[in-house]
Structure 1
Amino acid sequence: MKRPVMKLIQEVDTRWNSTFLMLQRLFKERQSVGAAVAMLKTDVRPLSSEDYETAAACLQLLAPFYQATVELSEEKRVSESKVIPMTKMLMLYLHDTKGKIGHNTTTLLGQNLVSLMQKRFDTTENQTALTLSTLLDPRFKTIGFYNQVQAQTSIKRLTAQCSQLMRCTPPDTLTEEQPSTSAQPAPENPSSTYLWDKLDRDASEARRARNATADATVEVQRYLTDPPLDRSEDPLVYWLKHQNVYPHLFQLAKLFYARQHRQFLASELSQNVEKL
């Protein structure tokens, strides 16, 4: 048939996307497969046109899952912040597509995929590491969330983390001191005695906590109101450029991105050891 020699791909339970790749190769080589089966003179029934239509419809439904796994596997910068947005886009795609393909098998497959994703990823937007990574990724922020109620909860969580960092970090350790929304402390009263020391310390701590919360709210809201980056841009470059604009969020971003980088290096090391 003057076609390049292409081997069929076998489905393997432990290989990601092996089902998709098997169906893709089978559909692409359907003419060659049909001719080969006819020449073998065996009892193997050749696939019908309806079978290939089913395969094509399944491929259309599974294509975004293949794209998602390949993209995450190839990611060398930050991957954790993509989990929630990818889950959202897959769910939206399934809801939008499963009823439009018009194939019974694919409709059932779509329903099963929705059910499994809801079961497996139901708590994804409740996990602190994933939600804060998504918010701190300037490409996604709140638009990456499927549930906007969870997005608002995550903003409160991020603000609390930022506030805690402000209370624990002296201003001169940051790249640039930010203007505070807090009031200036009252001057010391030279006539004060030990009678009021404990109360004064408690009041001072309460003022610092309140001021840190207010300052953190301002910094987080300023960051969130900035337009998101294009998805092709590098979030690490963004934070390097904005470390003086959002100094406390920059510190938090470093913590989350450094953790992901360590995980990536550990994964690469494990893969290299397995090859030895």
Structure 2
Amino acid sequence: MPAQRKLKEIQEQMHLAPLKLRQDVCTRWNSTYDMLNQFLKIKEALIASIAIMRAELALTPNDWMIIEKSLLILFIFYEVTNEVSTENYVSASKYIVLCKIMYVQIQKFTNETVETIKGLVSFFKTELMHCFGDIEKNMLLREATILDPRFKKSGFRDIRNFKAAAADLKLKIGRIVLSDERPLQPAEPVEPTPGCSKVSSLWKQFDEEVARQVPENPVAAGIVEFDKYMNEPQINRHCDPLLWWKERKAFPRLHSHMLKRLNITATSVPCERVFSKAWLTLNDRRTRLTTKKLTQLMFISCN
């Protein structure tokens, strides 16, 4: 295109990196951010190109200021999108936490005086509440958040949603029967040492108190296990929660339930990547590939 060629010539004259303009696409996440960010990267060359080719389209200083402030807002969603689009790391447990962070971050722009930015902030706040207002009531996501040792209850914006999720989770793990679980047998009585009857009587009382604290059924054991887990200190956000669980043998019921929650992906991005690979594999030159063969090729490619 003539505009792109002219822009490239001016970039070379200004000794700038030859970057092209980008166009936002409604079906592409973050494409508006990428477009405006590219504008700022080649701002000087863009101003010169527009002045030469279409002076009536020149952007005013106020327009550039709006672009810069809009990027600060869009960058919040840019980072969140990248966070939840991963497929090699735990992502579902971040969903509720990131929604909380987005709400807090967008609140910082509430006092903007520029009318355009003010309208943009109002729009995002309304859409956040519309799309994610009840996200903490989603059973799968809130259980994944609690079972992630990086977040637990600190990931929730409303403590009432955490308490409801914790109560449901206690009931679920209380119904889990472990494969190697055996009914608890009463401890065998210890024969008292001759001449120490008073001491034996003292230890008998102590043993009875300890026995009352030991859960006698899976439901009670599940509640105790959950409480112990919640009392464990939260780990650093950059640590791997799966490695943490691998090293913890004291929570067998929670571990069993965790395997069904932390393996959930937060978005459909991994699935869409598979479809993109399939489209590149089954092209015009390979139309005779059978379904079975294509399935095998995709399995190898994705693993």
Counterpart residue number, 1:227: 233
Deviation at 1:210, TM superposition (A): 8.6
Matches within 5 A, 1:36-75: 36-40=49-53, 42=54, 44-75=56-87
Q: 1:259 to 1:121 in 2, by over 3 A?
A: closer
- For 1:193-272, list aligned pairs within 5 A: 211-242=217-248, 244-260=249-265, 266=271, 268-272=273-277
Corresponding residue of 2:24: 11
Contact 1:76–1:264 (8 Å) recurs in 2: no
Q: 2: CA distance between counterparts of 1:73 and 1:47?
A: 34
* CA 1:215–1:62: 2 relative to 1, 3 Å: same
Question: Is the alpha carbon distance of 1:264 and 1:43 closer, same or farther for their aligned partners in structure 2, counting shifts above 3 Å?
Answer: closer
Q: Does 1:115 pair with 2:126?
A: yes
**Structure 2 match to 1:147:** 158
CA separation of 1:264 and 1:62: change in aligned 2, threshold 3 A: closer
Q: What is the percentage of aligned positions where both structures have the same residue?
A: 26
Rg larger for: 2
TM-score by length of 2: 0.73
Shift of 1:71: 1.9
Give unmatched runs, 5+ long, in structure 2: 1-13, 187-214, 282-303
Decide which moves more: 249-258 or 79-88. 249-258
Residue 23 (str. 1) matches residue 32 (str. 2): no
- Specify which of 170, 174, 178 is matched with residue 169 of structure 1: 178
Structure 2 Cα separation of the partners of residues 111 and 81 of structure 1: 27
Distance 1:54 1:265, change over 3 A: closer
The one-letter code of the counterpart of 1:248 is R
Root-mean-square deviation (CA, aligned residues, Å) is 2.5
Specify which structure has the higher proportion of helix.
1
TM-score, length of structure 1 as denominator length: 0.79
CA distance in 1, matches of 2:99, 2:33: 18
Contact in 2 for aligned 1:72/1:79 (Cα 8 Å): yes
Check the 8 A contact 2:87/2:265 in 1, yes or no: no
Give the drift of 1:67.
0.7
